[in-house]
Amino acid sequence: MFESLTDKLDGIFRKLKGRGSLDEENIQSALKEIRMALLEADVNFRVVRDFIEDIRKRAVGQEVFDSITPGQQVVKIVHDRLTELMGGVSSRLKFGSRFPAPIMLVGLQGCGKTTTAVKLARLVAAQGKRVYLVSADVYRPAAMEQLKVLGGKIGAGIFAAAGLQDPIEICVQAVEEARRNGYEVIVVDTAGRLAIDAQMMDELKRIKAQINPSEILFVADAMTGQDAVNVAGRFDEQLGIDGVIMTKMDGDARGGAALSLKAVIGKPIKFVGVGEKIEALEVFHPERMASRILGMGDVLTLVEKARATVDEKEARDLEKKIRKNEFTLDDFRNQLTQIRKMGSLQDILGMIPGMKKIKALKEMTPDEGELVKVTAIIDSMTAKERRNHLIIDGSRRKRIARGSGTQIQDVNRLLKNYTEMRKMMKRMTKGGIKSLRRGNFFF
Amino acid sequence: MGQDNDNKGFFDRLKAGLAKTRKLLLTDVDDIILGSKEIDRALFEELEEALIVADVGPAFTGELIESLKEKVRRKELGSPEILRKVLRETMREILLKNEAPLKIPPDQIYTIMVVGVNGTGKTTTIGKLAHQLKGEGHEVMLVAADTFRAAAVEQLEAWAKRAEVPLIRQAPNADPAAVVYDALRSAKAGRPGVVIIDTAGRLHTKVNLMEELKKMRRIMGRELPGAPHEVLLVLDATTGQNAVVQARMFRDEIGVTGLILTKLDGTAKGGVVVRIARELNIPLRYIGVGEQVDDLRPFRAGEFVEALFAQNGR
Ligand SMILES: Nc1nc2c(ncn2[C@@H]2O[C@H](COP(=O)(O)OP(=O)(O)OP(=O)(O)O)[C@@H](O)[C@H]2O)c(=O)[nH]1
Ligand SMILES: [Mg+2]
């Protein structure tokens, strides 16, 4: 989408002559860029303002070491601070000593509570606890049915609210039922509501008063904009939030709301939802979130995702190939297929540090829809051509275009992208995949 | 969910909805401009905050502010009142270019496909839209092509009952393209009318799911030339700058022909829609202002901006 922050800052600092230390003056335009990056990532305006002030204080006077550029130095300060602010994490759930321990999920409409309730129940069940589920959503059509179907998949107990219309009554009875049947934890899914809807907020307060949850978790959509602070603030004021779950993190939103929420509620972000599947709930990693907000790519997640999808040997082979510059068009296509398996291409590319650095990459990054075309083109090449792209001359290009139902320009572009990718991969893997894994790639 | 609203008439609710929108959208901007007598740095700073907090986006806000500053430098703007007028006009023009109510020709099968990321309000909006179109005298039929999410079909079924329109459905986990195919077949066999297709929420970054939508599109076009006649993208006003990415991806991949902005009854201001209008030029059709069946309003740029900047609109 745009150049990485590190690039921009390097650009700014390049104009400075000597190195020496960071001062009020030479840091000014850098802070402006950081501010823009944070706002673009949807961090709340006021949170950004305080954060920038904080960074100014921290950065000024710092010496710049020879080993890194001032741009990298500032990014590191920002990244570390973001990590620290969003950290203090504990993904542990408090259960207390009562049976069942009620965990209550609250949030706006459409933020993903129901799916998250079941994901959470699965996680708790995996810790060996017996889990019960209840939906207190009597408003949205088929909300209870949704919980029932999903909950059934993980084999959790589910409260049947047959005939009951009052959410408070439903919760009370469900807790009672859970206790009778020896469940240790009950996850309470509530209807989505606006924080300004007094009547609906009151309902939550009454549920809370009746069942006294051991945890109240605020579920927030990673795509949320500036309003996140208002909403979270109101929920927290009225209910007292114990933690946050960020959902839809498998998209490409930069997720600045995470920082805003942390700033407002001051409670840990415990989990993140990373997909529609019931297993797609992970613990929160502040340093990854920091990278993501800054648009810097997320090495660790990439490596993990890649590890889950591509088997180790394949990865090692690939690495060898790249190093020896033997990365063929076949590998290129396989890569693309792998990437499709892993999820969004943009996600993946965005996770590789340096990927966004290379301008040309913007054009060579096939947009998601183009993947199909790219595959078709490569499929229309002969095995020989795929092994050695250098032999693909004008007439071969024409034939390939015809064979794949594309234009010759498409073929040209693909070949250009491929060579570009080769060059870049070679540069990137100088230290090998292992250095990526150590996570010391940016600084 | 305002149960107490239930017995108010449509006009009360329209007015209430608009007043709410007016209050919650950019009136902050007016407060600021009217509150200060002079054009100074503080004014611009506060203006910037108001725009950014409304999710207009930092880059676009920067541009707006810069152009106002430039005009002040050139002495084209002398007072906060004129400044306010210019800002209002700028935003109104952008939105006006994209104000385009849905026009449905009579006596033909008119197909509407509703798409968007998870949880933006697609199904609810379809319920409201069905109710509205039926009220305007159209035959309406709903199609449950979200065969993926648990209980999505039951949810749409409840809305079909509420709006008193028929529903085409298949077993859960059926191929959505097959459901659509079925629906068009039966639409062609029946009376002409509007066919509204609910699709599963999907992140714009998921290749296979976007492909699935394309396939549905293709099948529709094959069964009925010109279909889908309208592809509505439903955006949640709570969403920040990612809404622009969503709109761009859905437009480029699926071919969106109209936008609906939901949840404007909340505290989120949905200002990102101005950026979308400017950068992507997608027609703005409706806004959603609640969860009840009549909480859907046509998008009106004039009204919208009037509401944003009304001097005594509260
Ligand atoms: N306050 C408010 N809530 C809304 C509005 N539109 C939809 N909702 C609520 O948002 C939630 C999600 O709405 P759905 O219609 O299920 O959204 P969807 O896009 O179909 O969701 P998926 O199919 O799961 O992707 C529900 O609780 C709706 O009642 C609106 O304009 N205002
Ligand atoms: Mg739906």
pTM of the model: 0.78
Residue A48 neighbours by CB distance under 10 Å: 24
Instruction: Give the pLDDT band of residue A130 (cuts 50, 70, 90).
Output: very high
Q: Which residue in A196, A223, A231, A346 has the most chain B C-beta atoms within 10 A of its own C-beta, making it the best mutation to test that interface?
A: A223
Hey, what domains does chain A have and what are their CATH numbers? Answer: 5-86 (1.20.120.140), 101-289 (3.40.50.300), 299-437 (1.10.260.30)
Residue A388 neighbours by CB distance under 10 Å: 10
State residue A374's pLDDT score.
82
Please list, in sequence order, all residues whose beta carbon lies within 8 angstroms of the beta carbon of residue B254, skipping any fewer than 6 positions away: B115, B210, B213, B214, B217, B231
Please list, in sequence order, all residues whose beta carbon lies within 8 angstroms of the beta carbon of residue B156, skipping any fewer than 6 positions away: B123, B126, B127, B142, B144, B146, B167, B169, B198
Residue B160 lies in a domain: yes
Whether residues B189 and B289 share a domain: the answer is yes
Show which of B33, B64, B96 is a domain's final residue.
B96
Residue B279 lies in a domain: yes
Span from the CA of B118 to the centroid of ligand 1 (angstroms): 9
Q: Which residue in B241, B246, B295 has the most chain A C-beta atoms within 10 A of its own C-beta, making it the best mutation to test that interface?
A: B241
Residue with the larger pLDDT of the pair B250 and B41: B250
State the smallest CA–CA distance between residue A381 and chain B in angstroms.
24
- Name the residue range of residue B38's domain: 8-96
- B173 to chain A, any CB pair closer than 8 A? The answer is no
Mean pLDDT, chain B, whole residue set: 86
Instruction: Give the pLDDT band of residue A164 (cuts 50, 70, 90).
Output: very high
Residue B119, ligand 1, Cβ within 6 A = yes
Span from the CA of A108 to the centroid of ligand 1 (angstroms): 10
Residue B309 lies in a domain: no
Using CB atoms within 10 Å of the CB of residue B160, give its burial: 0 to 12 exposed, 13 to 18 middle, 19+ buried. Answer: buried
Instruction: Measure the CA–CA gap between A125 and A112, rounded to whole angstroms.
Output: 20
Q: At what angle do helices A312-323 and A329-342 cross, to 10 degrees?
A: 140
Q: Which residue of A has its CA nearest to B151?
A: A146
Whether residues B152 and B239 share a domain: the answer is yes
Least confident piece of the model among A124-128, A245-249, A334-338, A435-439: A435-439
Q: Is A217 helix (H, G, I), strand (E, B) or coil?
A: strand
Residue B29, ligand 1, Cβ within 6 A = no
**Phi, psi of A297, deg, nearest 5:** 85, 155
Residue B307 lies in a domain: no
Q: How many domains would you assign to chain B? A: 2
Span from the CA of A230 to the centroid of ligand 2 (angstroms): 26
Residue B308 lies in a domain: no
Show which of B96, B129, B158 is a domain's final residue.
B96
Residue with the larger pLDDT of the pair A287 and A42: A42
Instruction: Give the pLDDT band of residue A318 (cuts 50, 70, 90).
Output: low
Instruction: Measure the CA–CA gap between A326 and A319, rounded to whole angstroms.
Output: 10
Out of A35, A112, A230, the one facing B267 most closely (by C-beta) is A230
- pLDDT(A443) > 50: no
Whether residues B82 and B227 share a domain: the answer is no
pLDDT tens digits, one per residue of A391-404: 999 999 999 999 88
Whether residues B285 and B151 share a domain: the answer is yes
State residue A350's pLDDT score.
52
Residue B186 lies in a domain: yes
From chain A, the residues in CB contact with B52 under 8 A are 39, 45, 226
B160 closest CA partner among B189, B133, B120: B133
Which residue's structure tokens are 């229309």? A380
| Chain centre to alpha carbon of residue B140 | 20
Instruction: Give the pLDDT band of residue B34 (cuts 50, 70, 90).
Output: low
State residue B78's pLDDT score.
78
- pLDDT(A124) > 80: yes
State residue A55's pLDDT score.
92
Out of B62, B121, B151, the one facing A110 most closely (by C-beta) is B121
Least confident piece of the model among A136-145, A298-307, B257-266: A298-307
Run of H or E residues at B153: helix B152-163
Cross-strand bridge partners of residue A241: none
A93 closest CA partner among A82, A84, A105, A85: A105
- B150 to chain A, any CB pair closer than 8 A? The answer is yes
Run of H or E residues at B233: strand B230-236
Least confident piece of the model among A58-62, A341-345, B276-280: A341-345
Least confident piece of the model among A4-18, A29-43, B93-107, B117-131: A4-18
State residue A191's pLDDT score.
97
Distances from the Cα of A415 to the Cα of A121, A366, A390, A422, angstroms: 49, 12, 9, 11
Sign (positive or negative) of CA dihedral A100, A101, A102, A105 = negative
CATH number, domain containing residue B88: 1.20.120.140
Q: Could you tell me if A339 and A345 are in contact, meaning their C-beta atoms sit under 8 angstroms apart?
A: yes
Whether residues B178 and B254 share a domain: the answer is yes
- E strands, A50-181, are 101-106, 131-135, 157-158
Least confident piece of the model among A38-42, A177-181, A284-288, A429-433: A429-433
Instruction: Give the pLDDT band of residue A102 (cuts 50, 70, 90).
Output: very high
- pLDDT(B108) > 90: yes
Task: Kindly determine whether residue B263 and residue A110, on different chains, have CB atoms separated by under 8 Å.
Answer: yes
* Mean pLDDT value across residues A225-237: 95
Instruction: Give the pLDDT band of residue A306 (cuts 50, 70, 90).
Output: very low
State residue B50's pLDDT score.
84
Instruction: Measure the CA–CA gap between A215 and A93, rounded to whole angstroms.
Output: 7
From chain B, the residues in CB contact with A347 under 8 A are 205
Span from the CA of B263 to the centroid of ligand 1 (angstroms): 8
Residue with the larger pLDDT of the pair B201 and A362: B201
State residue B302's pLDDT score.
77
Span from the CA of B312 to the centroid of ligand 2 (angstroms): 38
A440 closest CA partner among A299, A238, A319, A331: A299
State the smallest CA–CA distance between residue B247 and chain A in angstroms.
13
Q: Is A233 helix (H, G, I), strand (E, B) or coil?
A: helix
Residue B263, ligand 1, Cβ within 6 A = yes
Whether residues B77 and B180 share a domain: the answer is no
Task: Kindly determine whether residue B242 and residue A223, on different chains, have CB atoms separated by under 8 Å.
Answer: yes
State the smallest CA–CA distance between residue A66 and chain B in angstroms.
34
Residue A256 neighbours by CB distance under 10 Å: 30
Residue B213 lies in a domain: yes
State how beta strands A281-283 and A269-273 pair.
Answer: antiparallel
Sign (positive or negative) of CA dihedral A227, A232, A233, A239 = positive
- E strands, A289-348, are none
Residue B290, ligand 1, Cβ within 6 A = yes
State residue B312's pLDDT score.
26
State residue A338's pLDDT score.
61
Out of A226, A230, A248, the one facing B203 most closely (by C-beta) is A248
Residue with the larger pLDDT of the pair A182 and A372: A182
Show which of B43, B63, B96 is a domain's final residue.
B96
State residue A372's pLDDT score.
77
**Phi, psi of B188, deg, nearest 5:** -65, -30
Q: Could you tell me if B110 and B194 are in contact, meaning their C-beta atoms sit under 8 angstroms apart?
A: yes
Mean pLDDT, chain A, whole residue set: 81
Q: Is A432 helix (H, G, I), strand (E, B) or coil?
A: helix
A280 closest CA partner among A308, A257, A299, A312: A308
Least confident piece of the model among A313-327, B152-166, B236-250: A313-327
Instruction: Measure the CA–CA gap between A259 and A354, rounded to whole angstroms.
Output: 24
- pLDDT(B278) > 70: yes
* Mean pLDDT value across residues B189-214: 94
Residue B124, ligand 1, Cβ within 6 A = yes
Q: Could you tell me if B66 and B48 are in contact, meaning their C-beta atoms sit under 8 angstroms apart?
A: no
- pLDDT(B23) > 80: no
Q: Which residue in B66, B154, B205 has the most chain A C-beta atoms within 10 A of its own C-beta, making it the best mutation to test that interface?
A: B205
Task: Kindly determine whether residue A227 and residue B267, on different chains, have CB atoms separated by under 8 Å.
Answer: yes
pLDDT tens digits, one per residue of A49-69: 999 999 999 888 877 665 566
Residue A110, ligand 1, Cβ within 6 A = yes
Out of B55, B120, B121, the one facing A226 most closely (by C-beta) is B55
Q: Which residue of B has its CA nearest to A348?
A: B205
- B139 to chain A, any CB pair closer than 8 A? The answer is no
Run of H or E residues at B110: strand B110-115
- B52 to chain A, any CB pair closer than 8 A? The answer is yes
Whether residues B163 and B85 share a domain: the answer is no
State residue A60's pLDDT score.
85
* Mean pLDDT value across residues A239-255: 94
CATH number, domain containing residue B240: 3.40.50.300
Task: Kindly determine whether residue A226 and residue B272, on different chains, have CB atoms separated by under 8 Å.
Answer: no
Least confident piece of the model among A175-189, B46-60, B226-240: B46-60
Residue B120, ligand 1, Cβ within 6 A = yes
Span from the CA of B158 to the centroid of ligand 1 (angstroms): 14
- B157 to chain A, any CB pair closer than 8 A? The answer is yes
Nearest protein CA to atom 8 of ligand 1, as residue: B121
- pLDDT(A26) > 80: no
From chain A, the residues in CB contact with B53 under 8 A are 44-45, 226
State residue A375's pLDDT score.
82
From chain A, the residues in CB contact with B54 under 8 A are 226
Using CB atoms within 10 Å of the CB of residue A42, give its burial: 0 to 12 exposed, 13 to 18 middle, 19+ buried. Answer: buried
Out of B2, B49, B252, the one facing A197 most closely (by C-beta) is B2
Q: Is A55 helix (H, G, I), strand (E, B) or coil?
A: helix
Residue B148, ligand 1, Cβ within 6 A = no
Residue with the larger pLDDT of the pair A310 and A323: A323
pLDDT tens digits, one per residue of B41-56: 888 888 898 889 989 9
Whether residues B284 and B141 share a domain: the answer is yes
Whether residues B70 and B133 share a domain: the answer is no
Quote the tokens at residue A330: 């076949």
Task: Kindly determine whether residue B238 and residue A45, on different chains, have CB atoms separated by under 8 Å.
Answer: no
Q: Could you tell me if A11 and A357 are in contact, meaning their C-beta atoms sit under 8 angstroms apart?
A: no
Residue B39 lies in a domain: yes
Task: Kindly determine whether residue A145 and residue B52, on different chains, have CB atoms separated by under 8 Å.
Answer: no
State residue A249's pLDDT score.
94
Q: Which residue of A has its CA nearest to B200?
A: A276
State residue A343's pLDDT score.
46
Q: At what angle do helices B41-53 and A45-59 cross, to 10 degrees?
A: 120
Instruction: Measure the CA–CA gap between B125 and B300, rounded to whole angstroms.
Output: 17
State residue A344's pLDDT score.
44
Instruction: Measure the CA–CA gap between B246 and B277, rounded to whole angstroms.
Output: 13
* Mean pLDDT value across residues A228-234: 94
Whether residues B120 and B231 share a domain: the answer is yes
In chain A, % of residues over pLDDT 90: 49
Quote the tokens at residue A53: 């002030």
Which residue's structure tokens are 């152009």? B67
Whether residues B203 and B235 share a domain: the answer is yes
Determine the residue of B132, B162, B291, B293 to mutate for testing ligand 1's pocket, defined as the one with the most ligand atoms within 8 A of the Cβ atom.
B291
State the smallest CA–CA distance between residue B58 and chain A in angstroms.
6
Whether residues B291 and B199 share a domain: the answer is yes
